[in-house]
Amino acid sequence: MLCLTVTGAAYALEAGERAVAGKAWLEALVLAILLGTAVRSVWTPGDRWHAGIAFSAKYLLEVAVVLLGASVSAVTILSAGPGLLIGIAGVVACAILLSFAIGRLLGLPTRMALLVACGNAICGNSAIAAVAPVIGADSDDVAASIAFTAVLGVAVVVGLPLLGIALGMSGLAFGTLAGLTVYAVPQVIAAASPLGTVAVQTGTLVKLVRVLMLGPVCLLLSLVAPHLGSQGEPHGEEVAGGSRSNRPGLFHLVPWFIIGFLALVAFRSLGLMPAEAIAPIGRIATLLTVISMAALGLGVDVRIVAKAGGRVTAAVVISLLGLGAISMALLAALHIA
């Protein structure tokens, strides 16, 4: 109920933004973690609250990741063409490696560097939230990564169209660039809108392909996570959604929610999922993610987030610039102008 209360307040603030400004500059997902953190700053929940917060941060988030698979179709992906599909995968891989290296050079802990890298390369907050339980990241790392990534995401939505117009980019080229660099699907649509319908359609398609990389990346990270260790990490053993524990058998190697995500992708691709169910499933996934973000915020120690802020901000900014450079190189290689 505490997490739901914070979630309700986040949605109310988002509605207020839309009423005053015509659109939401900060979505409920971002507002939920900020509100949760604000509550934690003035009040530390006692033991009676811990079970509900942990459940919301872990299990509801994992269910949300599964439901995200319903928004991805193999038919839609293949329509982009092999060159662009391979290019998107290459951009994501290069961006993760580059961002992780930047984070480590700036002194970020291994898990936080991975969170920033995956958020930057794939889909911002959603990727950070999905990767966190796979690598055993603690709630402070998750909150810091999401908070700074969210702020920069808003800046990109505002600034990227100005770049596209200044460079005289076509709708196809700018849509591809937006899909490769902007974090969330709604943000891609907002950023691409000033350059027309083609830009919006292209950006959305590229972004969906990019989101699909979340499954393989999480699978790979689940294999390397046991070898990350805890030496040199600045935080304790508390992780996002609970304590670090080894998962026996198959789920130790492949988290159940990744299997579920891929299963829904297959159902959608084979036409086994009713078309009218896709939109409601997407809304449920979004709601569960917002509740999870509220829970993560409620588990945040603001002092730790503030201490890590400068380094995280630098890592996210430099990584995003690197992602933009890699994306522009792909456009040049594919002769998309």
Q: What is the pLDDT of residues 229-248, one digit of tens each?
A: 654 444 433 444 444 443 43
Q: What is the pLDDT of residue 51?
A: 92
* pLDDT at 199 > cutoff 50: yes
Q: What is the pLDDT of residue 243?
A: 42
Match 């499933």 to its residue by tokens: 281
Reported as a single tens digit per residue, the pLDDT across 73-129 is 777 666 667 888 899 999 999 999 999 999 999 988 888 899 989 988 988 877 888
Q: Which residues contact 142 (CB under 8 A, 6 or more apart)?
A: 115, 128, 129, 132, 240, 296
More confident of the two residues 83 and 305: 83
More confident of the two residues 279 and 25: 279
What does the angle CA 287 – CA 292 – CA 294 come to, to the nearest 5 degrees? 95
Query: Would the pTM of this model clear 0.85, i.e. be above it?
Result: no
* pLDDT at 208 > cutoff 60: yes
Phi, psi of 247 (to 5 degrees): -90, 125
Average pLDDT over every residue of 2-12: 95
Please state, in angstroms and rounded to a whole number, the distance separating the CA atoms of residues 138 and 283. 27
CA proximity to 312, closest of 49, 107, 121, 156: 107
Where b means 16+ CB within 10 Å and e means fewer, 235-264 reads beeebbbbeeeeeeeeeeebbebbebbbeb
Please state, in angstroms and rounded to a whole number, the distance separating the CA atoms of residues 289 and 199. 27
Average pLDDT over every residue of 27-31: 80
Distances (CA, A) of 160 to 3, 24, 181, 189, 317: 34, 17, 9, 12, 14
Average pLDDT, the chain: 81
* pLDDT at 320 > cutoff 60: yes
Q: What is the pLDDT of residue 61?
A: 80
Report the chain's terminal Cα–Cα distance, integer Å.
51
Helix (H) or strand (E) holding 242: strand 242-243
Please state, in angstroms and rounded to a whole number, the distance separating the CA atoms of residues 319 and 117. 8
